[in-house]
Amino acid sequence: MALATVARLTGDLQLAEDAIAEAHAAALETWPAAGIPDRPGAWITTVARNRALDVLRREARRGDLERAATAALTALESSPTVVQPIEDDQLQLLFTCCHPAFAPEVRVALALRFVCGLRVPEIARVLLEGDEAVAKRIQRAKAKLRAASIPLRLPPAGLLPERLPSVLECVYLLFTEGYAATEGDQWVRTELCDEAVRLAVLLARTLPEEPGAAALAALVLLQDSRRGTRVDDAGRPVLLPDQDRSRWDHGRIAEGIRWLAAARAHPDMSAGSAAYLLQAAIAAEHAQAPTWERTDWPAIVAAYDQLAQLTSSPVVLLNRAIAVSHADGPAVAQPILLALAEDPRLARSTALALALADVAERSGDLTAARRHLTAAEARASTVAERSHVRRIEERLDGLASG
Amino acid sequence: MHYMVLLYDNEANATMPGDPEFEALMAGYTAFGELGGTAIVGGDALVPAEASRAIRVTGGQVSVTDGPYAESSEVLGGYYVLDVPTLDDAIELVRHIPATATGSSEIRPIAMLMPPSTDPVPAGAVRYVATIHGPTSEADVPGTAAWDERSAAHGRFASEAGSAVAGGAAIQPSSTASTVRVRDGELLVTDGPFAEGAEVVGGVYLLTAAPDAVVDIAARIPVPDGGGVDLRPILELGG
């Protein structure tokens, strides 16, 4: 957060980054002897602000200060001498990282670096890319930010409808990057989920006129409420039907439901906002259901129906078919799933094979169920997925022999 | 902050003076001129690309051919130079340029601007736009030694060419480009130049010279090896 505040004060991300690095070095030198200050964030921000001010003054004396930097120098000199980092600055930096002049993959890398404060190797692990490629992408973006004079600011209200979608998309990506993988650097992933939830809520609070922001806050809070129950003690994934609902985060669920209501209170919204809202509505149905069996499946099917109108995502259609299998029974869902199996985009889908196995099992056709599980196992791309398929196979073996 | 806006469009969308569509298009540009006001530092429309001459330099060997430097369906049809504080301000103007609604408008930050001359065009002379193309390199990045070297070469060219150089701009590398389109009223911004590989590299000159002398002048513009110049007459709209 300190970086965002110094970036606002200086109007220069590179200068802010260098100043923060120097402030951290100064902290390493002085804190061990002098003790950690009462407000470490303010300490770092203040030291960094002073370093940046020194740099600008030095450049001004040499007479090679650009016009924008001259304004920054004037603003810095009149800023308070003790600076508290503030959340709004982070939001401002988030909008800059998500500027439409950056390609989507650049935005996520920039947000991970400058808003979430991850280092390049951590970003590379999160994005499953090489260190060098990530470093280069960030370097190039910083050069563009500076050369093209991309402003460090919250866009004016008139531009928000155009600028907000890429910000919401990026925050949701941060969340799913942290949430999706059960392998890898656990500490970073936990941090990432928390950070994405915090940013989504901050956006919703700051932009009460934007239903998309409220809907995204609801969505990530509701999904994140299940985080602690998604993996068992042995590190194996636990799917929704088998999760211990008493251990879901009921504080997050309540907060998510409040944001969902806030989003629904808006009379009209963009298709993108509606997509977040419908996904949040589905998550809310699950979060509020006492058990898997007593979930309001018709409500979930209805939400997926609306979602399918907004997106051509085959995953939405697959999830809709699974909901249909619970709302109307496996016999109704089976032909829908078989039709989806013809979609080339789902040709490698483990989830589709698993859904087909599930409806076959529930229709009493264990032979077909086994066939679909064999297909699922062949498609499984991670160890966790493969062991999940095996556990179902073992359960079927138990059913057949018992 | 100066930005160069390069307007790429399908020439099938182009109209010439006298066409009924031409008047409507001109009204659109007049409206844009009023909207931009003093933020518009310069700008010109170009004659169709078939009038271009391509000057290529390979290993010091210069060759000149008729036709544009790079063949593509969307070609440079004009440019603007804007003076606005940030890229956001530039995008807010560029979205209202008529060509942005049919083609692609590439926004390039300018590193150094030689403002267009306001001197009257001498009798017998024609105004041209010369765009530099070729492989990207470190010399495209201001602050590097390679850039300084290239700048010095441009300085020598400009002083030798004298009054034939009526303006120009050294522009930032294509990695700093943003391309703007408006379709169905929706603004679409993409990262990077309009046409990777065929983009303008290094800069643009405004030349004023007699048609029989201009190619010799343009052939002396410093270009990256393996690159060249697209030389195109400006469409004089009068007034």
**What confidence category does residue B38 fall into, taking pLDDT thresholds of 50, 70 and 90?**
very high
Does the pLDDT of residue B239 top 50, yes or no? no
Q: Cα distance from B187 to chain A (closest Cα, Å)?
A: 8
Report residue B65: phi and psi, to 5°. Answer: -130, 155
Domain with CATH 1.25.40.10 in chain A: 313-402
**What confidence category does residue A78 fall into, taking pLDDT thresholds of 50, 70 and 90?**
confident
* Rg over CA atoms, chain A: 25
pLDDT at B164: 95
Query: Which among B208, B194, B228, B196 has a CA at the least distance from the CA of B44?
Result: B208
In DSSP terms, B208 is beta-bridged to: B127
> Are B175 and A159 within 8 A, CB to CB?
no
> Are A103 and B172 within 8 A, CB to CB?
no
Least confident range from A46-55, A157-166, A387-396: namely A46-55
Q: Scanning every residue of chain B, which has its alpha carbon at the shortest distance from the alpha carbon of A158?
A: B92
Interchain CB contacts (distance < 8 Å): A and B: 53
Least confident range from A91-95, A139-143, A233-237, A387-391: namely A233-237
Residues of A in contact with B85 (CB under 8 A): 68, 149, 151
Query: Which among A78, A51, A56 has a CA at the least distance from the CA of A68?
Result: A56
Q: Scanning every residue of chain A, which has its alpha carbon at the shortest distance from the alpha carbon of B174?
A: A144
> Are A151 and B178 within 8 A, CB to CB?
no
Q: What are the angstrom distances between the C-alpha of A66 and each of A62, A324, B39, B55?
A: 11, 62, 19, 36
Q: For residue A8, how far is the Cα from the chain centroid?
A: 24
> Are B86 and A102 within 8 A, CB to CB?
no
Q: Which value, to the nearest 10 degrees, does the dihedral of the CA atoms of residues A200, A203, A207, A209 take?
A: -10
Cβ contacts of A5 within 8 Å, gap of 6 or more:
A45, A83, A84, A85, A86, A89
Residues of A in contact with B189 (CB under 8 A): 100-101
Q: Scanning every residue of chain B, which has its alpha carbon at the shortest distance from the alpha carbon of A67?
A: B1
Q: Cα distance from A332 to chain B (closest Cα, Å)?
A: 40
> Are B191 and A102 within 8 A, CB to CB?
yes
pLDDT in tens, A23-61: 888 888 888 777 788 887 888 888 888 888 888 888 877
Check: CB of residue B170 under 8 Å from CB of residue B154.
Answer: yes
Check: CB of residue B113 under 8 Å from CB of residue B169.
Answer: yes
Greater model confidence, A73 or B100: B100
E strand or H helix that includes residue A307: helix A297-310
What whole-number distance in Å separates Cα of residue B176 and Cα of residue B170? 13
Q: Which value, to the nearest 10 degrees, does the dihedral of the CA atoms of residues A246, A252, A258, A260 take?
A: -90
Residues of A in contact with B187 (CB under 8 A): 100, 162
> Are B192 and A151 within 8 A, CB to CB?
no
Does the pLDDT of residue A21 top 80, yes or no? yes
What whole-number distance in Å separates Cα of residue A240 and Cα of residue A48? 46
Q: Cα distance from A104 to chain B (closest Cα, Å)?
A: 9
Query: Which among A332, A335, A293, A371 has a CA at the least distance from the CA of A396?
Result: A371
Does the pLDDT of residue A62 top 80, yes or no? no
pLDDT in tens, A267-308: 889 999 999 999 999 999 999 999 999 999 999 999 999 999
Q: Scanning every residue of chain B, which has its alpha carbon at the shortest distance from the alpha carbon of A151?
A: B86
Q: What are the angstrom distances between the C-alpha of A400 and each of A361, A377, A390?
A: 11, 20, 15
pLDDT at A330: 96
Report residue B93: phi and psi, to 5°. Answer: -80, -45
Supply the mean pLDDT for chain A.
89
Structure tokens at A293: 């069996």
pLDDT at A66: 65
Q: Encode B147-186: b = buried (16+ Cβ within 10 Å), e = exposed.
A: beebbeebeebeeebeebbbbbbbbbbbbbbbbbbbeeee
- Mean pLDDT across A7-29: 83
Which fold does the domain A313-402 belong to in CATH?
Answer: 1.25.40
- CATH entry 3.30.70.1060 includes domain B2-235: yes
The contact set of A with B (CB < 8 A) is: 68, 99-103, 106, 140, 143-144, 147-151, 155, 159, 162
Count, residues in chain B: 239
Report residue B181: phi and psi, to 5°. Answer: -135, 150
